[in-house]
Structure 1
């Protein structure tokens, strides 16, 4: 077995980091997640996996590359054998970046010939066939992701999408090779590398495909993809003697306190979750960028309202809205200002809920919102806890403030997620 982490992960947002951490934790590895690029002395010494959660999905590509390379250097310095660049299972990225530029930079830093790229996550309905990404039965371009406010996805052909983002040649390992298993995948990867291909989209329709893919690339310097790609890695590492027997999950002692939900995602899934919570009678407060910009809403108003609610049930504060409302706010305020107003308000609300109102259990929906909240709270490291829904675990802070956090990708979770999350806590 190795000393230090066998795998170092660089995730482009916070909810994606916890999604990946959950997959690896379910594989029996001890996973610690850190927020932002850590200092050398901040890395845990007894983890099999360190996941660095960045806020790099929608920043300028050059900034995303710089952050990712700093994280890579830190992880390699800690002894990681392999790097994993993790992005969303819906390949959220514009033609200007950031998946291609970051993958290209990491390949260059490692001196690697080729890396795979697959966002497939069949458990959550994300599959790749002939290089095209499906969400359930729909092509990505026909799904609600086509209207994402920050990264609208109008092209399901991942070879083409990635090819527009990078100067490197992009190829495909198609279904027929993947279906034959790890040896065929390895042979296909070697052929592509020999032809000069540097990034390879990989088809995957089932978890078995991902297990075979993981076994085929366990010794590659770099892998890139969604959390599904991690399904096969833990057993592949054990087969090589790099990690020990499956680690038992450790229970965390969370101080007693109030519960709250902050929902910034405008995804269809989160809209349904907000509606289910309202039908169930949770106390709710909707904020909007237009109201904040006009001075009619602020964090103090929300906190005063929250303090008046029944402390035995979670309160829900949300900016979740249908696409037309989001488009209208962006048109009047500008996309960046509208997003910043909401994120800054959620950050201030989170500080007040935790610091002054005794909240120790917090669900946050949306990658950008999660990043703003965790940064505001000063949470530096998290340990992965029990699963709530596929891709969404509870996590436990490893320093003050001691609390449980469920950081949910906007697209994930069943309709009753906000109601049932609390039952998964130890």
Structure 2
């Protein structure tokens, strides 16, 4: 599915671009006058039209929109504080689509304290036109009423939070205006809006801040690339270091229990990032050696790790333990790695084709190494 975006400034283009990149997509940002053509999953055009003459803004957006019009999904990124030539830029889109097609306006961005309640814009519960943005040198904000910016009808919070999704769908379908404006107070509202408009197939033309994008991607079926942390070192320092990830709700822990003579790991698709661990503590390690030779522990653990990685198509790996690292890579037929940078002394970030890999000797790394490495890997999605 081809997704295209027009943003009115370069930082806004890159803001939404980095969100889309988190899903493993190839994202290209270019200027409105660029002649370059690069194959990508997402194309973003920055029109640099926020602070220019209204007529020029209209022309730039029209030109860019005609270039992207055939995309399956189109998103017009606007400033979450309603600065810029919003009316003119929306007009450039409206005039070039079928009058029966809806344009949905979803401005709210709860993560940055931007809320829309009864069609009015608030920042930290203060009306937009009473915040610092009233003194903007280019576009001093004079009202927080979205109907002053968009000629449409409002879907209010009470409609969005109806106990029955069908009721919300009926409300949306009953609106005659081409433009539908949505209230948004929290992220759950965004989730409901995205799910509903996609089910109604009204998600082709969306205007808004980047707050809604995460939820559109969710219901469009995109998943963020997973991360696997493979802790195979029996070093006491490593065993303590890895505990920092145990309480992370976004990580599923898979303990390979070598204290048992029969090891059975459930075959499943994991929704979250995963931690595959061979040893929970030194006591378990000593018990494991009663059941298996060290070479057997290595072989079984790397077989299990490889299987989980491949079944879940995971490309971002953090591996601890020298023997574990080389054995996993060999079993995955990875016969070379490009050295990119040092994460911490003696700990490398490496690349192999589409794989991002960090390898760590067991006793190396700071107390918070795994947290640091995990955050680093998250930057690739």
Q: Aligning the two structures, in what range does the TM-score lie when normalised by the shorter sequence? A: 0.5 to 0.7
What CA distance in whole angstroms lies between the structure 2 residues aligned with 1:124 and 1:102?
24
Which of 15, 22, 40 is 1:19 aligned to? 15
Q: 1:182: how far off? A: 5.9
1:234 aligned residue: 217
2:87 aligned residue: 100
SS at match of 1:141: helix
1:85 aligned residue: 76
Number of aligned positions between the proteins: 226
Q: 1:100 to 1:175 in 2, by over 3 A?
A: same
What CA distance in whole angstroms lies between the structure 2 residues aligned with 1:28 and 1:209?
26
SS at match of 1:150: coil
Map 1:359-374 to 2 at 5 A. none
Q: Is the 8 A contact 1:125 1:135 kept in 2?
A: yes
Q: Is the 8 A contact 2:6 2:64 kept in 1?
A: yes
Q: Is the 8 A contact 2:58 2:91 kept in 1?
A: no
Q: Is the 8 A contact 2:106 2:209 kept in 1?
A: yes
SS at match of 1:152: coil
Q: Is the 8 A contact 2:27 2:44 kept in 1?
A: yes
Runs (5+) with no aligned partner, structure 1: 164-168, 250-423
Map 1:121-270 to 2 at 5 A. 121-159=109-147, 161-163=148-150, 169-180=151-162, 183-193=166-176, 197-218=177-198, 219=201, 220-238=203-221, 245-247=223-225
Q: 1:210 to 1:25 in 2, by over 3 A?
A: farther
Q: 1:212: how far off? A: 2.1
Q: 1:203: how far off? A: 0.4
TM-score by length of 1: 0.49
Q: Is the 8 A contact 2:54 2:88 kept in 1?
A: yes
1:263-309 alpha-carbon deviations (Å, 9 max, x no partner): xxxxxxxxxxxxxxxxxxxxxxxxxxxxxxxxxxxxxxxxxxxxxxx
2:327 aligned residue: none
- Root mean square deviation, CA, Å: 2.6
Q: 1:208: how far off? A: 1.8
1:120 paired with 2:108, answer: yes
Q: 1:87: how far off? A: 0.6
SS at match of 2:188: helix
Q: Is the 8 A contact 2:22 2:379 kept in 1?
A: no
Map 1:39-50 to 2 at 5 A. 39=35, 42-45=36-39, 47-50=40-43
Map 1:280-291 to 2 at 5 A. none
2:66 aligned residue: 73
Which of 83, 90, 96 is 1:109 aligned to? 96
What CA distance in whole angstroms lies between the structure 1 residues aligned with 2:154 and 2:28?
33
1:32 aligned residue: 28
Map 1:400-415 to 2 at 5 A. none
Looking at both structures, which has the greater relative contact order when contacts are Cα pairs under 8 Å and sequence separation is at least 6? 1
1:389-424 alpha-carbon deviations (Å, 9 max, x no partner): xxxxxxxxxxxxxxxxxxxxxxxxxxxxxxxxxxx9
Q: 1:184: how far off? A: 4.4
Q: 1:100: how far off? A: 1.8
What CA distance in whole angstroms lies between the structure 2 residues aligned with 1:154 and 1:202?
21
2:55 aligned residue: 62
Q: 1:157: how far off? A: 1.0
Map 1:334-349 to 2 at 5 A. none
1:29-70 alpha-carbon deviations (Å, 9 max, x no partner): 43221122433xx2321x322111111112222211211121
Runs (5+) with no aligned partner, structure 2: 228-377
Q: 1:172: how far off? A: 0.6
Q: 1:10: how far off? A: 0.5
1:149-206 alpha-carbon deviations (Å, 9 max, x no partner): 11111211111x215xxxxx4211100122238654443222113xxx1222210011
SS at match of 1:109: coil
What CA distance in whole angstroms lies between the structure 2 residues aligned with 1:27 and 1:186?
28
